Amino acid sequence: MVVNFQWPWLGVIIPCVLIAGIGYGSHLFVFAAYLSNEKQIIFEVLLSILWFSYYLAIVTDAGTPPKNFQPPEGEWKRWCKKCKNYKPERSHHCKTCKKCVLQMDHHCPWTYNCVGHSNLPHFLRFLVWVMVCTTFVAVELGKVALKYYEDRNLPSYLVNKVEMFAVILLLPLDIFVLASILILFIRCVINFAFKGMTQIEVWELERIESQIRNGRIWTQIKKNYRALHGKELPKLVSWSKHSRFHEEEPELEEDDISDLEGYEYEIEESIEEEEDAVASSVVSKTETRHDFTSDDLIFPYDLGFWRNLTDACGSPLVWMFPWGKPRTSGYLFIKNEDVEEDQLGLPWPPDGGHQENLEGFVDELDSIQLEDLSEEGKRRKLMRIRDPRSTLRRTEWMNDFGETLDDFGVDLDAEDAENDHLLAK
């Protein structure tokens, strides 16, 4: 869960206190008596680099869209009501920075700045230098703590009480900071390097997968496909269901089916009859749900581990230097080759961040008896009952960690969802 402070400046003061307290406290009370002059100088150099990297993470702008930006054909045309400008793909308006941010990852309370396209390398370097310094401190303080244990039978008057108190206080605190930053760094690397995603896009993917599982997404998908391609959505075939590695979902137990009593509804929407032969390739909403799974979704910006990493942080020769920067513009992106196989044929996100009206999804009459439903229909009903998020709007939806778009700093009031539309190719 992203931390939010009532007084935002606390988010910068707390890291400063931790860096100064752990770094200079360890040096003053412990390292000065145990480390050689060379090691002490090395530590102070590392600490200075850490301060500088933190400064750059705070003051470097994440990047804003060009004025009078016009989205290319085949992309979403999204208007920001507060910036009075069109937003490029992957951009969002930050409620704290009060501007649109290119390739926005999240608003970081610890830097009082958005993490986005232009300052992601500085943010990652800051995390790296925090880990380097805290690892140094943990190793050296650990050696001193081990020495205390070995000398535990010595008289107490031979032990420096101030030094011991510093070790007892700073070592656990340092390990806590190291573990926290390591987890955050791993999460960032997994998202950016292995998936090619921002944290917001990971959240968006989870939301779309949820909508596919409960079947709610298809009305909007059909509408978007018709707007972009000028024809009805063709029949979708799941590659995973035809794979030799595919495992059939287990049948519902009797206890599960009994949970459905009183909730006997199924959303069944038939398409309009076509006068030509194209009709045979168009399917009903229920059929589309059955044939297409979340495994068939294609995220267009994942270019592979190495390409994702170098596009985000530049050449590996400058990764650890302050002049290392991304290779891309931040508002026009290359798509991966898998897009050609994308059955939905829509820009990301395929539903445009719009979720269909709840009326047809929630208030469907119990016109179909439970025994008349297929196993798939029963499963969807059970999912609808057990997951209360299935009826939430995008502005309210939360992932498994309880995070909403608001937690990442996105200003939902700046979005003009009613007027967003696709630019036909």
Residue 348's closest CA among 394, 391, 410, 302? 302
Q: Report the run of H or E that residue 232 belongs to, with start and end.
A: none
Q: Which residue's entry shows tokens 């990971």? A: 202
H/E element, 376: helix 375-386
Q: Report the half-sphere exposure of 209 (CA within 13 A, side-chain side).
A: 15
Give the integer Cα–Cα distance in Å for 267 and 287: 11
Count how many residues are written for the chain: 425
How many other CB atoms sit within 10 Å of the CB of residue 3?
A: 11
Q: Let me know if 114 is a catalytic residue.
A: no
Q: Is 117 exposed, middle or buried (0-12, 13-18, 19+ CB in 10 A)?
A: buried
- What 3-state class would DSSP assign to 160? coil
- Reference 351, options 272, 413, 296, 421; nearest CA is 421
DSSP state of 29: I
Residues 425, 20 contacting (CB under 8 angstroms): no
Say which of 108, 114, 133, 313 is annotated catalytic.
108
Max distance between CA atoms of the chain, in angstroms, equals: 98
Question: Which token pair is 212?
Answer: 């596919």
- What span, in angstroms and rounded, lies between the C-alpha atoms of 105 and 326? 14
* Cβ atoms of residues 117 and 103 within 8 Å: yes
> Which letter, b or e, does each residue of 251-261 get, where b requires 16 or more Cβ atoms within 10 Å of its Cβ?
ebeeebbebbe
Residues noted as catalytic: 108
